[in-house]
Structure 1
């Protein structure tokens, strides 16, 4: 039982609520994950695997028959199922023997610059973290080497990647690479994930200290906006794409991400309140950037795009807002939208993306609509990446 606030100090009362929530979260997470609390990626059917690799099931069967690809470890009633690691390995093998560079591994080549996408908006509920993890998973499944960087002390992206800040985890966080005193090498802060092709620079609550550290460290030679840039430079050759999830604010953490980004994606739910909030966010952002420009510190982006999230084609007012955004900004609004879907919401409850859910586990039409939406979003961003590398 919670004691009444009158029977204790406000700090004790608040702490009691926090502790009770922590116990509930711990219990939920222990049930949601396997007993050792390690997330695993589901298996993919041969049809889905062929679709991911843009080949036919017959092509895969031929490769297995002639020995160019090993048989998958799981065969059930004559049907092949592939793990994420097996798909990743097959991409490597097929790419090595392909006459068309990038057919199976579409990542960076010589002189291609690292693509850094930052998701940012200070309106809560804009599906920022959900959009970020779906992009990470889509790109990894397509053969890109992806680094997820969680700049939000609430650690939503970290949770999606299989680490549970609520239960704590061993190892360094992105804060340790960005801190002013004795920073840790970025490579030591990166965690492998259960998702092949995707690594994570995790967040913990201590990341919020970066805001305080920066406020009191104004005289330090290394300015705050270079902290993440310098950390990413240490591991730049290891990745094709970096995806940054920012906190719902425009503080030092978000600005540090902004200076490291090559492209910006602003998730936006189609409501007038969200549009008004986003307008204020962009006004503040422009004021901050102008202040840097006055100091001859320039910011340039390959792309600046809006993403309509939680889109409901049957909601007329929201469709009017979407139409307004497209009329105002044309190509700056991504053609793809991410749908409002119970499949995505249910997956998020277990800290999963739609790519981790088996089609047979939910209503297939619901799954198909949600999956098509996220595939379209990921494909459009992948097209932007290739264009930025001069191959679009």
Structure 2
């Protein structure tokens, strides 16, 4: 007999098939996400903090390969790979020094719908454009971040490719190298997720009922595994589940910085206050159990902010009054460009050309650069450095 409950599975299957159709359409012809970004010489110079003349001189004297060939009289611009090579040759890489501790940032809030995965992916791609080596770890079995990186968690990702073989009660992997996947960005790698990662929650919860020593060991194990991997990166971004489960607890302990996205609505504000209160209690319990938790920074960032909505302005004022300097001053604006890009399973940083009007795209990109640049500055401050001044800024200062 066909039960109403069985419709849930049918709906899920229909949805999965549609996701795969969307993915194939978005990533044709090779059905795998590609990166066709190009940066003009002026934008390249701005990103490197140097003059266009310096780039041209390096191309003329052979330190850099010749400029990209003209296409109908116009240079097509530099690829991300070429930009990274420019940074190496011209000494403009922002990479951390050997003794600097890699930033391991958990992007966390127990309230769903705050743009957690959207913030994580845009932050990863922003940092990639700036020249950092980034690892993104999708710890959420809903796998939104994995999807935005061009993988279909249902069809493309096996349980053995997630954190599961490392964190399960009967682990089959001793380190996390097995799970690292290349992405279309040459300086961004991903550890993907899928629905089967949720099995870890069941296993660890059952094991935890026997005294919690297994849980404590798993928490330390994730921290150690990520610390080993982080040696090859500047910044690691963790996207945990939007709930207080064993994986979220492990992520909280593995991170050395915390970023909390929240939307400018009263329910989001109230929920985030509860999240912070719960975090405080849980961290106290973890420390009481001998599990250390320490962050170089804790910041909240207002996401999906509509500057034309008076209620958003009021809630943001309440946030500022409550959280003070812990709230980053520049919010991420609610932009149609972000929504349009997400429909194509992309971030704004991956778009070759505007989807909406050029003005909307430019305003959105400028806001993202400023908002996400705040987090870059916090990371650099942790390394005892600030973002280097450009040649142009130094000349003006003189």
TM-score relative to the length of structure 1: 0.91
Say which SS state the counterpart of residue 116 (structure 1) adopts: strand
Say which SS state the counterpart of residue 75 (structure 1) adopts: coil
Deviation at 1:23, TM superposition (A): 2.0
Q: Following superposition of structure 1 onto structure 2, how do residues 207-286 of structure 1 map, counting pairs within 5 Å?
A: 207-218=197-208, 219=210, 221=214, 223-286=217-280
Deviation at 1:89, TM superposition (A): 1.8
Q: Does 1:355 align with 2:349?
A: yes
> How large is the Cα RMSD of the aligned pairs?
1.8
- Measure the CA separation in 1 of the matches of 2:287 and 2:39: 52
- Measure the CA separation in 2 of the matches of 1:197 and 1:16: 39
Q: Following superposition of structure 1 onto structure 2, how do residues 75-90 of structure 1 map, counting pairs within 5 Å?
A: 75-76=70-71, 77-90=73-86
Q: Does 1:65 align with 2:60?
A: yes
Contact 2:154 2:194 in 1 (8 A): no
Which residue is equivalent to 2:163? 174
Q: Does 1:54 align with 2:49?
A: yes
- Measure the CA separation in 1 of the matches of 2:95 and 2:180: 20
Q: For the structure 1 residues 180 and 53, does the alpha-carbon distance in structure 2 shift closer, same or farther, using more than 3 Å as the test?
A: farther
- Measure the CA separation in 1 of the matches of 2:148 and 2:239: 12
Which residue is equivalent to 1:313? 307
Contact 2:23 2:345 in 1 (8 A): no
Deviation at 1:194, TM superposition (A): 0.6
Q: Does 1:143 align with 2:131?
A: yes
- Measure the CA separation in 1 of the matches of 2:15 and 2:218: 34
- Measure the CA separation in 1 of the matches of 2:349 and 2:145: 15
Unpaired stretches in structure 2, ≥5 consecutive residues: 387-398
Q: Between 29-38 and 299-308, report the one with greater CA deviation.
A: 29-38
Q: For the structure 1 residues 176 and 94, does the alpha-carbon distance in structure 2 shift closer, same or farther, using more than 3 Å as the test?
A: farther
**Which of 287, 290, 304 in structure 2 is aligned with 1:293?**
287
Say which SS state the counterpart of residue 334 (structure 2) adopts: coil
Q: For the structure 1 residues 29 and 194, does the alpha-carbon distance in structure 2 shift closer, same or farther, using more than 3 Å as the test?
A: same
Deviation at 1:235, TM superposition (A): 1.4
- Measure the CA separation in 2 of the matches of 1:172 and 1:384: 32
Deviation at 1:310, TM superposition (A): 0.8
- Measure the CA separation in 2 of the matches of 1:327 and 1:249: 26
**Equivalenced residues, count:** 378
Which residue is equivalent to 1:329? 323
Which residue is equivalent to 2:93? 105
- Measure the CA separation in 1 of the matches of 2:23 and 2:378: 36
- Measure the CA separation in 1 of the matches of 2:319 and 2:305: 13
- Measure the CA separation in 2 of the matches of 1:16 and 1:280: 36
Q: Between 290-299 and 316-325, report the one with greater CA deviation.
A: 290-299
Say which SS state the counterpart of residue 70 (structure 2) adopts: strand
Which residue is equivalent to 1:159? 147
Contact 1:64 1:71 in 2 (8 A): yes
Contact 1:121 1:128 in 2 (8 A): yes
Contact 2:39 2:79 in 1 (8 A): no
**Which of 27, 41, 53 in structure 1 is aligned with 2:21?**
27
- Measure the CA separation in 2 of the matches of 1:191 and 1:141: 19
- Measure the CA separation in 1 of the matches of 2:126 and 2:55: 21
- Measure the CA separation in 1 of the matches of 2:146 and 2:354: 27
Deviation digits for residues 77-125 of structure 1, max 9, x if unmatched? Answer: 2424111111122222222xxxxxxxx2112213211111111111111
- Measure the CA separation in 1 of the matches of 2:67 and 2:346: 24
- Measure the CA separation in 2 of the matches of 1:333 and 1:361: 31
Q: Does 1:190 align with 2:186?
A: no
- Measure the CA separation in 2 of the matches of 1:74 and 1:281: 53
- Measure the CA separation in 2 of the matches of 1:369 and 1:271: 23
- Measure the CA separation in 2 of the matches of 1:112 and 1:127: 30
TM-score relative to the length of structure 2: 0.90
Which residue is equivalent to 1:116? 104
- Measure the CA separation in 2 of the matches of 1:284 and 1:325: 18
Which residue is equivalent to 2:336? 342
Q: Between 116-125 and 231-240, report the one with greater CA deviation.
A: 231-240
